[in-house]
């Protein structure tokens, strides 16, 4: 043996490999330790830092997993790998194995959202659409399972590669969860905390099945079309406001809209008619009690005929009674329509508004009624 061979042998026996991962960024989840021909010397030092897990893979099989710490690699520290290799009495030569370092710190502020609107069925508003978005946080809880099921042979697996899969999983499970919740549509936006916790518990097992721990899940916003919001706000006011006051308010709004609309004689006529009704109602409200107008002071008028009281159905609920004028205002602001069921005293059954003779005037006929006394 020559002198150079002796020097090489001595250096080979004294040199100890260092297996560690230093150069990583926040978006790297898994890194494969690169070693020439994957050879690691007997007695090499394995250094696993906080926030890391080291996983040894032998010919595609999961071997030993190391938590943070410093280890001298031998048959005592590599019991599974020693079994797979068939080392009965230890080993003295370099061995081949793939070493993966997995980043186990918490990945925070990950975004998710519904790509398409979610269609729900509401008892009052029928089919409605909502969207949602928020954030979540996760960490790798089982490094071995994560490498086998997700990483495979990727030598530098990043956060971006797993995020698309996780966001699709979240959107699917969120859709299932809100569908089964069967809440009134306005409560989805008002109960985001409870809904977030429910979704988290539903999703955790699926995350865990591939070695990922879902640590946090937040729904930041549940949105719906503006038209639906307006309907919900108006519906909520019905229980809070007096029906008569609400009718007067909507009548005033209808007059304002009719005044701004110059397209059609029928529409203008209806606006004028409602204006007269409102003027009469407001005049009666503003007239001091006990004071009669001049025309009334001059002569005593005959008794006012009893007005007809109409009942109508909205969303399967009986509403009313309402006078002819009030019903006209409700038709103008679309609370009732031509197909709304109507009943008054003397009618045998509920009948659609379009089939009630005196209410057909609501439908916009251009033929005026006969003049009084004609």
* pLDDT band (50, 70, 90) for residue 275: very low
Q: What is the pLDDT of residue 153?
A: 80
Q: State which H helix or E strand residue 11 sits in.
A: helix 3-14
Q: What is the pLDDT of residue 277?
A: 47
Q: What is the pLDDT of residue 280?
A: 54
Is the pLDDT at 73 greater than 50, yes or no?
A: yes
**Backbone angle region of 90, left / alpha / beta, with phi > 0 → left and psi within -120 to 50 → alpha:** left
Whether 107 contacts 138, CB under 8 Å: yes
Whether 1 contacts 28, CB under 8 Å: no
Q: What is the pLDDT of residue 16?
A: 57
* pLDDT band (50, 70, 90) for residue 116: confident
Q: What is the pLDDT of residue 366?
A: 46
Q: What is the pLDDT of residue 239?
A: 55
* pLDDT band (50, 70, 90) for residue 13: very low
* pLDDT band (50, 70, 90) for residue 7: very low
- Where is average pLDDT lowest: 30-34, 131-135, 362-366? 362-366
- Where is average pLDDT lowest: 60-69, 247-256, 329-338? 247-256
- Where is average pLDDT lowest: 24-38, 87-101, 212-226, 237-251? 237-251
SS (H, E, C) 212-252: EEEEEEEEEEEECCHHHHHHHHHHHHHCCCCHHHHHHHHHH
State the average pLDDT over residues 114-131: 83
Rounded CA gap, 243 and 319, in Å?
10
Q: How far is CA 217 from CA 109, 125, 170, 201, in A?
A: 10, 29, 10, 9
Burial class (CB in 10 A: 0-12, 13-18, 19+), 323: middle
Q: What is the pLDDT of residue 77?
A: 86
Q: What is the pLDDT of residue 143?
A: 93
State the average pLDDT over residues 26-53: 87
Q: What is the pTM of this model?
A: 0.56
Highest-confidence range of 80-94, 101-115, 303-317, by mean pLDDT?
A: 101-115
* pLDDT band (50, 70, 90) for residue 226: confident
In the chain, % of residues over pLDDT 70: 74
Q: What is the pLDDT of residue 121?
A: 81
Report the 10 Å Cβ neighbour count for 358.
Answer: 10
Is the pLDDT at 261 greater than 70, yes or no?
A: no
């Amino acid at each position: 043996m020559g002198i150079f061979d002796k020097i090489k042998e001595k250096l080979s026996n004294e040199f100890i490999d260092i297996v560690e991962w230093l150069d990583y960024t926040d978006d790297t989840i898994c890194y494969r330790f690169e070693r020439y021909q994957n050879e690691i010397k007997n007695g090499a030092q394995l250094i696993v830092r906080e926030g890391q897990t080291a996983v040894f893979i032998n010919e595609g099989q999961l071997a030993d997993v190391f938590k943070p710490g410093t280890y001298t690699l031998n048959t005592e520290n590599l019991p599974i790998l020693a079994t797979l290799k068939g080392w009965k009495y230890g080993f003295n030569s370099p061995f081949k194995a793939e070493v993966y370092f997995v980043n186990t710190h918490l990945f925070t502020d990950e975004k998710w959202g519904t790509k398409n609107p979610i269609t729900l069925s509401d008892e009052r508003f029928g089919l409605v659409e909502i969207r949602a978005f928020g954030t979540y946080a996760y960490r790798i809880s089982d490094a071995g399972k994560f490498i086998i099921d997700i990483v495979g042979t990727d030598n530098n697996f990043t956060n971006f590669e797993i995020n698309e899969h996780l966001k699709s999983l979240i959107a699917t499970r969120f859709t299932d969860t809100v569908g089964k919740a069967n809440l009134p549509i306005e409560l989805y936006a008002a109960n985001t905390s409870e809904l977030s916790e429910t979704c988290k518990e539903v999703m955790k097992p699926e995350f865990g099945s591939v070695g990922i721990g879902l640590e946090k899940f937040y729904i930041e916003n549940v949105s719906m079309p503006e038209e639906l919001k307006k309907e919900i706000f108006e519906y909520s006011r019905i229980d809070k406001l007096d029906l008569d006051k609400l009718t007067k308010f909507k009548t005033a709004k209808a007059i304002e809209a009719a005044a701004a609309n110059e397209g059609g004689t029928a529409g203008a006529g209806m606006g004028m008619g409602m204006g007269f009704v409102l003027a009469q109602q407001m005049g009666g409200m503003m007239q001091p009690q006990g004071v009669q107008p001049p025309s009334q002071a001059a002569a005593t008028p005959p008794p006012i005929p009893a007005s007809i009281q109409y009942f109508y159905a909205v969303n399967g609920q009986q509403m009313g009674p309402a006078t002819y004028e009030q019903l006209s205002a409700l038709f103008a602001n679309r609370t009732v329509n031509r197909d709304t069921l109507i009943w008054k005293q003397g009618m045998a059954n509920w009948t659609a508004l379009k089939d009630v003779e005196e209410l057909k005037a609501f439908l916009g006929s251009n033929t005026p009624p006969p003049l009084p006394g004609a």
